[in-house]
Amino acid sequence: MKSQHRGSLSFIDVAVVDVLAGDGGNGCVSFRREKYVPRGGPDGGDGGRGGSIVVRADLHLSTLIDYKYRRIVRADRGEHGRGKNQHGRNGNGTVVRVPVGTVVKDASTGEVIVDLVRTPEVIVARGGRGGRGNAAFATSIDRAPRRRDQGEPGERRRIILEVKLIADVGIVGAPNVGKSSILRKLTKARPKIGDYPFTTLSPNLGVLRLGSRDIVLADIPGLIEGAHLGKGLGLGFLRHIERTKVLLLLLDAGAASPKAALKTLRGELSLYGRGLRDKPYVVAINKADLLPPEEKKRLQGECPGILVSAVTGYGLRPLVKAISDLLAQGEEGDHDGMGKGS
């Protein structure tokens, strides 16, 4: 099984940004004055439109690190109109580049502006329209108008950017069950691992290549009971598995009761909501290398699942096949050690 990794050095998945579009330029009051042209008419030009701010999905980005400290994004204002019917130049717009899969929300209402999964870009703040110069107000009655328009102000709003990873499989489990170790074994991803809880502090991605097919796996920080209420680290990252097609529920063979751990895990996913409860899933029990043969049989009878070992590689082939089959089947069918949320 060949594999590859994609990721980033610093994972920032939420950012709050104030976007300030450019104001429109003011119209100009001017009259034509030339030596041999008496009573020259009005020739004040219009102001230019202010620049807009666009949020654009970029395939080459995986984090919002650029907006960790850059909290204000501005676009240029339009130039003012000038005499001789010269219109002001439009202001340059600004592009906010974000990872594909970013959700853009209005901070004041919480309303989702756009989900950048299928939509490549969206204008989040429009530039103000330029004001009209006095040449635009000339009529047969008023041939020398001294009126002009001020440029309109550009839109200003505060937006929230939230990255939701796009992966095929979400690896979910309690702290220290070996999620990152499984990811390392199946892919070339190199997440930090350790024999203490909450080793994983941010999601990790790895790509498992099966023939000509790539399967993207996401490992999120460990879930503990009460994660849906904000306990531990899981709540902040559960959104990253909202888009996954299949969940890999990973248990610890050395736990006092893997069956109870599975119930807790399923309960947290259900309480979080947003469709996680209904996602197809595969159950795997890690650290099987620590169990004697008779204990393996007892454990499988108590808690159906695929026994695996991230250390020795035991059971990984059946696990990969189960994941691949479930991805191919979509949400249809229930199997031993696999199932659809209920």
Tell me if 178 is assigned to some domain. Answer: yes
The answer on 188 and 177 residing in a single domain is yes
Relative to beta strand 204-210, strand 2-4 is antiparallel
Q: What is the CATH number of the domain that holds 311?
A: 3.40.50.300
- Does position 316 have pLDDT exceeding 70, yes or no? yes
Give me the phi and psi of 308, to 5 degrees please: -140, 165
The answer on 158 and 180 residing in a single domain is no
DSSP-assigned letters across all residues of 300-316: HHHS-SEE--TTT-TTH
Q: What is the pLDDT of residue 341?
A: 45
- Does position 336 have pLDDT exceeding 50, yes or no? no
**What percent of the chain lies above the pLDDT cut of 90?**
41
The answer on 332 and 302 residing in a single domain is yes
The answer on 190 and 297 residing in a single domain is yes
Q: What is the CATH number of the domain that holds 157?
A: 2.70.210.12
The answer on 219 and 107 residing in a single domain is no
Give the chain's mean pLDDT. 82
Q: Mind listing the pLDDT tens digit for each residue in 6-41?
A: 443 456 788 999 999 999 999 999 998 877 666 678
* Domain final position from 127, 146, 164: 164
- Does position 262 have pLDDT exceeding 70, yes or no? yes
Q: How far is CA 333 from CA 14, 81, 267, 276, 305, in A?
A: 36, 68, 21, 17, 16
The answer on 182 and 50 residing in a single domain is no
* Domain final position from 164, 195, 212: 164
Q: Read off the tokens for 181.
A: 């170790």
The answer on 233 and 95 residing in a single domain is no
The pLDDT of 163-180, averaged and rounded, is 84
pTM for the full predicted model = 0.69
* Domain final position from 112, 143, 164: 164
Q: What is the pLDDT of residue 76?
A: 97
The answer on 188 and 155 residing in a single domain is no
Burial 186-207 (b: 16+ CB within 10 A, else e): bbebebebeeeeebbebbbbbb
Tell me if 1 is assigned to some domain. Answer: no
Q: Which H or E run includes 299?
A: helix 293-302
Number of domains in the chain: 2
Band (239; pLDDT cuts 50, 70, 90) = confident
The pLDDT of 294-311, averaged and rounded, is 86
- Does position 230 have pLDDT exceeding 60, yes or no? no
User: What domain range includes position 307?
Assistant: 165-340
Tell me if 66 is assigned to some domain. Answer: yes
Q: What is the pLDDT of residue 320?
A: 92
Tell me, what amino acid is at 25? Answer: G
- Does position 201 have pLDDT exceeding 60, yes or no? no
Relative to beta strand 121-125, strand 156-163 is unpaired
Report residue 22 CA to chain centroid gap: 26
Q: Mind listing the pLDDT tens digit for each residue in 106-144?
A: 999 999 999 998 889 999 999 999 999 999 999 988 888
- Does position 335 have pLDDT exceeding 90, yes or no? no
**Contacts (Cβ under 8 Å, ≥6 apart) of 219:** 171, 179, 180, 182, 183, 189, 191, 200, 203, 204, 205, 206
Which range (2-6, 138-142, 181-185) has the least confidence? 2-6
Q: How far is CA 185 from CA 36, 191, 247, 313, in A?
A: 87, 11, 17, 7
The answer on 140 and 179 residing in a single domain is no
Which range (3-17, 150-164, 220-234, 244-258) has the least confidence? 220-234
